[in-house]
Amino acid sequence: MIPLSLAQIARVTGGQLCHGDPDAVVSGEVVIDSRRAGPGGLFAAVAGERSDGHDFAAAAVAAGATAVLATRPVTVPSVLVADVPAALAALARSVVDALPAVRIAGITGSSGKTSTKDLAAQLVERLGPTIAPAGSYNNEFGHPLTVLRADAATRYLVLELSARGIGHIAYLCRVAPPRYGVVLNVGHAHAGEFGGLDQVARAKGELAEALPADGVAILNADDPRVLAMAERTEARVVTFSSAPGSDAPVRAVDIRLDDLGRPGFTLLTPEGSAPVSLRLHGAHNVPNALAAAALARELGMDLDGIADGLGAAVARSRWRMEVHQRPDGVTVINDAYNANPESVRAAIDALAHLAKGGRAFAILGHMAELGGTSRASHEDIGEYAARIGDSGLAGLIAVGEEAAPLLDGARRVRSWTGEALAAPDGAAALELLANRLKPSDVVLVKASRAAHLEGVAAALEGEAGQ
Ligand SMILES: Nc1ncnc2c1ncn2[C@@H]1O[C@H](COP(=O)(O)OP(=O)(O)O)[C@@H](O)[C@H]1O
Ligand SMILES: [Mg+2]
């Protein structure tokens, strides 16, 4: 981060300096987890549901933090503010304003933000020093914390923007105004909170609206709600597509998947074409890769560099479509990070591909935050799962009561001969599976974050080797 004195921090945030030397400097990382506080850093104390950061203020300073950003008095050097996220936003914005040469890209969409951000960051890093968030640092806390990591050496910021309501993305765009904006898709993630897909589109489109006239809106031509955002921006529009017959300037043709579901395709751009082989799993990573390619191209990367970079890019964030082959021949697809209807369909498609000719099992937890359409969405996904491949699914294990409608949906498929199994928790799911699993079977594990099925996936991945 750019070194800032406590006096400067107090001025930028409109806060009040307490017990601190105004000339003491913050030059280390700004964190909200006191365990990560380090020398020269700033610890932002947040009152959460389970614990209150203010209780850890002294520990953070003992660990080397210069000061604490707090909303009530603490006994260590601190800047007292009315609202911590607003203070972080003000600080982040002051850093952005102090670094006019940094080019800022924002990525949003209902599914694939983190995957695309990780791909894009691995391309853009080849052009110069790049700051991109770890994992999904994409809200009113993670976003400014990421921006605050930028310093005089930084050339690019590749940011993930999330929204749970109208105005959220507009807010993040004021914290760090992007010149480049990528919109991936409009889907059902958090659709319940938004009140329908049109509201989701309104919210995601705030990124397009925030772009300046000399900016670039990178839009998915295959999603009509995203393409319509072209009307909502002053920026130049560049589209990408993986649909056959598209005339989008950045597109993929000859898409195929290898035995492990890793996509290969020919990347077409106005500059020419190049073969690309991804290390990531699942056809849904084709649009993600195209979005990253379109962004890198706008930042000046040549076609060979893009194709090479995409082929070298690895999955940086855990539990997103990790494919693990056990020594006994069982394949585990760990996609336990999160779930919504679109991403579960994408994962089921990958399961079907990997299980071609063999048996497929799915351990699915519930998809959270779908609002009134929740039951119907779960039934539809269950039906979709029961229809995969030639032989369909050998077993669908629904974890937890809220996931039970998946089984009802699967049973709607009359021709389905697989088993519909209810498990109260992850341990029960593992037990049900253990009695059935044979070498060369493929198992998908997926649910919303709240279900924490990554433990189930980890247990499955570890099991056979011992
Ligand atoms: N373009 C996409 N379309 C549909 N599903 C996707 C796409 N990209 C990723 N996914 C699915 O969504 C899950 C979450 O991906 P992630 O990149 O973390 O998205 P986000 O950050 O938007 O939550 C992945 O595990 C995968 O199953
Ligand atoms: Mg994410």
List Cβ neighbours of 380 (8 Å cut-off, separation of 6 or more): 341, 409
pLDDT number for residue 465: 42
Give residue 49's pLDDT band: very low, low, confident or very high (50, 70, 90).
confident
Biggest CA pair distance of the chain: 74
- Residue whose CA lies nearest to ligand 1 atom number 4: 343
- Residue whose CA lies nearest to ligand 1 atom number 18: 114
Closest ligand to residue 143's CA: 2
For residue 25, the CA-to-ligand 2 centroid distance in Å is 32
Q: What is the mean pLDDT of the chain?
A: 94
Contact 109, 181 (CB under 8 A): no
44: closest CA among 11, 73, 28, 67? 67
List Cβ neighbours of 274 (8 Å cut-off, separation of 6 or more): 266, 267, 303, 304, 306, 307
List Cβ neighbours of 180 (8 Å cut-off, separation of 6 or more): 103, 104, 105, 106, 211, 215, 216, 218, 295, 298, 299
Is pLDDT at 111 greater than 80 in this prediction? yes
Lowest mean pLDDT among 248-257, 388-397, 453-462: 388-397
Residues with CB under 6 A from ligand 1: 111-115, 136, 184-185, 284, 287-288, 320-321, 335, 337-338, 342-343, 346-347
More confident residue, 304 or 51: 304
For residue 34, give Cα distances in angstroms to 21, 59, 71, 84, 105: 21, 7, 16, 15, 29
For residue 164, the tally of other CB atoms under 10 A from its CB is: 12
Give residue 389's pLDDT band: very low, low, confident or very high (50, 70, 90).
low
- Residue whose CA lies nearest to ligand 1 atom number 5: 343
**What's the residue count for the chain?**
466
Phi-psi region of 408 (alpha: psi -120 to 50; beta: other; left: phi over 0): alpha
Q: Which atom of ligand 1 is nearest to the CA of 320?
A: 25
Task: Please choose from 111, 349, 448 the residue to mutate so as to test ligand 1's pocket, defined by most ligand atoms within 8 A of CB.
Answer: 111
Closest ligand to residue 339's CA: 1
Tell me the C-alpha distance between 202 and 405, whole Å: 30
pLDDT number for residue 463: 61
- Residue whose CA lies nearest to ligand 1 atom number 12: 343
For residue 341, the CA-to-ligand 1 centroid distance in Å is 11
Closest ligand to residue 113's CA: 1
Q: Mean per-residue pLDDT for 194-223?
A: 96
Tell me the C-alpha distance between 210 and 345, whole Å: 31
Is pLDDT at 466 greater than 50 in this prediction? no
Q: Which atom of ligand 1 is nearest to the CA of 184?
A: 1
pTM of the prediction?
0.89
290: closest CA among 351, 355, 222, 233? 222
Percent of the chain's residues with pLDDT above 70: 98
Give residue 349's pLDDT band: very low, low, confident or very high (50, 70, 90).
very high
For residue 114, the CA-to-ligand 2 centroid distance in Å is 4
Helices 197-204, 168-175: inter-axial angle, 10-degree rounding = 10
Q: Mean per-residue pLDDT for 9-37?
A: 95
Is pLDDT at 325 greater than 70 in this prediction? yes
Phi, psi dihedral angles at 280 (to 5 degrees): -85, 155
Is pLDDT at 356 greater than 90 in this prediction? no
- Residue whose CA lies nearest to ligand 1 atom number 27: 343
Q: What's the pLDDT tens digit per position in 146-201?
A: 999 999 999 999 999 999 899 999 999 999 999 999 999 999 877 777 888 999 99
Tell me the C-alpha distance between 92 and 47, whole Å: 20
pLDDT number for residue 204: 97
Q: Which atom of ligand 1 is nearest to the CA of 138?
A: 21
